[in-house]
Structures are given as structure tokens and as C-alpha cells.
């Protein structure tokens, strides 16, 4: 039975972990290597790091903290933010990251997905999608630059295209739900999971135990959360024990 994953997400700004609501009002939450090491011990299956201002500041992800994290972490970790070229992939993978998440650069240059998959393998190419429901309620569009620019591209169609180009995983964030703790956007998660043949990580909106189960039930392969875990409102083990009781296969 395929085990489902529970993944803490660490937003990084200027080499520090931060957390806000709907991508604003950021608060400092610690050193990336220390925070991720604590999650490793707490039972996380993987950790995702997003350098949230790299794209909008037009710079690459800083490599020093990636190297520091790799030296202290014994579970897979993904790095995203400011990655534009296969050389950026190479540099970060060389520092010890297991997977690379691309969002804005993949939208602007979809060939980056296929080039990276060819060079490094699909398994390390994660396409991150920030999706927001259209004002008329009919589906979702994708945004670039950390949720700042509406690309007017359908989120489900973009996910399918990214996979056809070689993406090995989709990291799907609902901008409407992000930071609200009102639950994942299960409708969005289900639509994308049904449209692609690779794992989908649901992100944005976890607030209680049942929310994790709900996202996995509609087709997510992994559930991601940030503030809930950062501020100890829920422990990773607690989430996994709850899921196991509900019949979900997890690694305890």
C-alpha cells in the first residue's frame, strides 16, 4: 500500500524561516537547518523550503542555507524559489537538496521542466502551482511571483501540461485557503489529482486533523502545512496517528 506523506513547509526569507497569512504579514520562525532538523526528529516524511522573495527580488536561492540544511537533515527535502535555469537546479542539487520546485520560471519557460527532467530525472522536478479561484467561481487560475501576478492560465490544464513536460510531482497551493486554517481546497485538489498521473502535494489551509484526511481522501498523495507545525498547534506524529486510525497508510 502506497504510504501518504506529511510534509512541513518552511518559507525562507533572507536565510530565515518566516510565516504569514495569504503571503503577507511575515513573522520570523527560526533558522532553516535547526527547524528542519526538529521536524526530522518529529517524524516528517520530507521538508519543503520555499525562498519566497527570490523570484520577486529577481535573485537566485541562497546556497549557504541549503548546504547547512543538507548537513543536518536525514529525510528528503525540496527547495524552491528563484530557480530559472538547469544550472540553478544543478547548483542546489549539488548542495544536497533532493528535489527542486519551480513555479514562475516554469510558467515563463515551460521547456525548463523538460530540460531539467532530461538532465536530472523527473523525480527531482516539482512544479509548484499557486492557484486562485476565478471571481466567477468557475475554476482556478495560476499566479506567479509568490502569488503577485495572475497569469490567466487554467490551473488544472497547467498541471496536466507540466506533467506531460516531465514534472514528477505537483505542489499545489490554494491561495484562497493559504494561512486561513479553514481546510484545504479539496475541490481544487481533486480536480488536479484526477488530471495528472504523478503525486500531488496539497498545500494551503490546514487547520485541524480532519483537514489532512479530507485532502488525502480526494486524491492528494501528500499534505503540507506550515504555521500549524511551526507554532506547535499540531504535532506531525499526532497527524499521522489520526490518519492511521482513519485507515490511511502512513510511516509512523
Partners of residue 103 on adjacent β-strands: none
CA distance linking residue 7 with residue 211, whole number of Å: 14
- Is 28 tagged catalytic? no
- Angle at 203 (CA atoms; ends 200, 209), nearest 5 degrees: 105
Residue 145: closest CA among 50, 16, 238, 54 = 54
- Is 130 tagged catalytic? yes
Region label for 158, one of left (φ > 0), alpha (ψ between -120 and 50) or beta (otherwise):
alpha
Q: Which residues contact 103 (CB under 8 A, 6 or more apart)?
A: 55, 80, 127, 128, 129, 130, 144
Catalytic choice (45, 68, 130, 185): 130
Region label for 22, one of left (φ > 0), alpha (ψ between -120 and 50) or beta (otherwise):
left
- Angle at 84 (CA atoms; ends 81, 87), nearest 5 degrees: 110
Catalytic choice (11, 51, 88, 98): 11
Sign, CA torsion 42/48/49/53: negative
Grid cell digits, residue 102: 519551480
The residues carrying an active-site annotation are 11, 130
Amino acid at each position: 500500500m502506497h504510504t501518504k506523506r506529511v510534509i512541513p513547509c518552511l518559507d525562507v526569507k533572507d536565510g530565515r524561516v518566516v510565516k504569514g497569512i495569504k503571503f503577507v504579514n511575515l513573522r520570523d520562525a527560526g533558522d532553516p537547518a535547526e527547524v528542519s532538523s526538529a521536524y526530522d526528529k518529529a517524524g516528517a516524511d520530507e521538508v519543503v523550503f520555499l525562498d519566497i522573495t527570490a523570484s520577486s527580488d529577481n535573485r537566485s536561492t541562497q546556497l549557504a542555507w541549503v548546504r547547512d540544511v543538507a548537513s543536518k537533515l536525514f529525510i528528503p527535502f525540496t527547495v524552491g524559489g528563484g530557480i530559472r535555469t538547469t544550472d540553478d537546479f544543478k547548483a542546489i542539487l549539488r548542495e544536497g537538496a533532493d528535489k527542486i520546485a519551480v513555479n514562475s520560471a516554469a510558467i515563463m519557460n515551460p521547456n525548463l521542466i523538460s530540460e531539467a527532467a532530461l538532465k536530472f530525472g523527473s523525480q527531482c522536478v516539482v512544479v509548484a502551482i499557486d492557484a486562485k479561484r476565478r471571481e466567477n467561481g468557475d475554476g482556478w487560475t495560476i499566479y506567479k511571483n509568490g502569488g503577485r501576478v495572475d497569469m490567466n492560465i487554467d490551473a488544472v490544464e497547467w498541471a496536466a501540461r507540466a506533467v506531460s513536460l516531465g514534472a514528477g510531482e505537483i505542489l499545489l497551493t490554494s491561495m484562497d485557503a493559504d494561512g486561513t486554517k479553514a481546510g484545504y481546497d479539496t475541490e481544487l485538489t481533486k480536480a488536479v489529482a484526477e488530471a495528472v498521473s504523478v503525486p500531488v502535494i496539497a498545500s494551503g489551509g490546514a487547520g485541524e486533523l480532519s483537514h489532512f484526511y479530507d485532502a488525502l481522501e480526494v486524491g492528494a498523495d501528500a499534505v503540507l502545512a506550515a504555521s500549524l507545525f511551526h507554532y506547535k498547534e499540531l504535532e506531525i506524529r499526532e497527524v499521522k496517528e489520526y490518519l492511521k486510525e482513519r485507515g490511511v497508510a502512513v510511516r509512523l
